Amino acid sequence: MKVCVCGGTNPATNVKFTDSVRRIGELFCDNDIELIWGGNLYGVLAVIHQIYIERKKPNTLYLPKTYIDDLNGMTTDKVVILENIGERQNAMSRNSDAVVFVPGGIGTMYEFWASLEALRSGEINAKLFLYNFDGFFDKQIEFFDFINQNGFTKTGMGGSPYKIKPEDLFTVVDTPEALIKELMKLKK
């Protein structure tokens, strides 16, 4: 099973968030999940990637040309270079069975909303998960509810207005154990 993880890559990330994802990396490796990611040597993604390197588990890094310098000093199994951030997100989602969003910044929020639209419109089939450690994604979920309540959601391309529930598009989990339990349901 291939799982894309989208999350923060900032060296100034609060340690409570980097510590919170360490268990995700361990559980992924224990369950032979191939990592698809688009990070660097910093932040929450680097923590997960480091566990993959230590355990010699397969991982593929997707980078837009803009971030090519992030390869300096990095070890990874495979690198896919793409023209831009949008192409990177599309390629990661298309080549994964699931996409997990862990705490991150603007790029992570972009990836989340772009993936929601790609799933809603049928461009991807990957299952989407929010790792809502410490309520990190609460505001995104509230915003989704707000646009839904005000009639800004619809199903499919050109579809008629429909009240989409968050669980129709993504699953929210609060612990690494809950995440791996949901992912293992897909593996069957």
- Residue range 61-80: mean pLDDT, rounded: 90
Nearest to 77 by CA among 36, 109, 40: 36
* Separation of alpha carbons 129 and 115, rounded Å: 11
In this model, does residue 156 exceed pLDDT 60?
no
Would you say 120 and 155 are in contact if contact means Cβ atoms under 8 Å apart? yes
Q: Residue 160 has what DSSP assignment?
A: P
- Residue range 69-94: mean pLDDT, rounded: 92
Would you say 137 and 172 are in contact if contact means Cβ atoms under 8 Å apart? yes
* Separation of alpha carbons 36 and 21, rounded Å: 15
pLDDT for 110 equals 95
88: β partners: none
pLDDT for 161 equals 54
> For tokens 């990592």, what's the residue?
35
Nearest to 126 by CA among 82, 157, 170: 170
Cα atoms found within 13 Å of the Cα of residue 25, Cβ hemisphere only: 24
Would you say 97 and 186 are in contact if contact means Cβ atoms under 8 Å apart? yes
pLDDT for 176 equals 97
Cα–Cα distances (Å) from 82 to 33, 67, 68, 161, in that order, read 23, 10, 10, 35
Q: What is the pTM of this model?
A: 0.93
Q: Each residue of 89-143: pLDDT tens digit?
A: 999 999 999 999 999 999 999 999 999 989 888 899 999 999 999 999 999 999 8
